[in-house]
Amino acid sequence: MTSNLKILLDQSAEKYNNPSFIANDPISIPHRFSKLQDVEITAFWTAMFAWGQRRTIISKANELFGLMEGAPYDFVLNHLEKDRERFLSFKHRTFQATDTLYFLEFLQWFYKNHHSLEDAFLKNMLPADPHVENAVTGFHRLFFSLPDAPRRTRKHVATPATKSTCKRLNMFLRWMVRNDGRGVDFGIWKNIKPSQLLMPLDVHVERIARRFGLLERKQTDWQAVIELTERLRQFDPKDPVKYDFALFGLGVLEKQNGRP
């Protein structure tokens, strides 16, 4: 069963990990940019929007970056306080103006002091760490370290400290770190290894993982993410998260075909 499952997952990863996947996925937003910081900002923000229908996520991300005149890094770095007024009517589900304004404040502060958002994750991660837990936990602390960080915004940037699956941050890290030449993930961060990534655990991935016996933990939490990733690491120790394409693709396909 294990060898047959590996064959199925490898074939499915191969099928869905190609540029045709991009157009209808939120990753299409950062793919419109080439500058490192533009890719980081749009990828991070789009990933934080990534719950609900993919079409809606893409639409709201387009609206947001349109308010930045299509130049996110330049806007983030150089905008004035008065320029934030245009975002007061922007919202995406529970992501409200308060959250948008704080994201702008943090990103402006950060990029005035750092070249790349990768630094925010490396600050608390050692090269020998088995996975990115320390990086994600540390990023959350840093992100909310400014004096006026709104409490309500914390629900939009998860942390393992609350046992969250941190699906959106793990997805963002997959986008930034994996570089397999397939044209989907960017691979623009070089100091975190693909082997250290953890699975973005959404409802589609969870359903298929449980069906295949890759996930047995009853709770859908941070430990479940680690359990699933460790199981997948047996199939590919250097790049276990490539199977996100397989499990997500199989899950979405089943949903489209009406299978529960």
Local structure of 196: helix, strand or coil: helix
- Is the per-residue pLDDT at 254 higher than 70? no
Residue 223, CA distances (Å) to 161, 239, 252 in order: 11, 19, 24
The average pLDDT across 76-88 equals: 97
Q: How far apart are CA 62 and CA 105, in angstroms?
A: 20
Rg (CA), the chain: 18
At 260 the pLDDT is 47
Query: How many DSSP H helices and E strands does the chain contain?
Result: 11, 0
At 3 the pLDDT is 85
Backbone angles phi, psi at 92, to 5 degrees: -140, 105
At 53 the pLDDT is 87
Q: How far apart are CA 45 and CA 147, in angstroms?
A: 21
């909310």: which residue's tokens?
144
pLDDT 10s digits, 131-185: 999 999 999 999 999 999 999 999 999 999 999 999 999 999 999 999 999 999 9
- The tally of domains found in the chain comes to 1
Task: Look up the pTM and report it.
Answer: 0.95
Q: Which domain holds residue 117?
A: 2-256
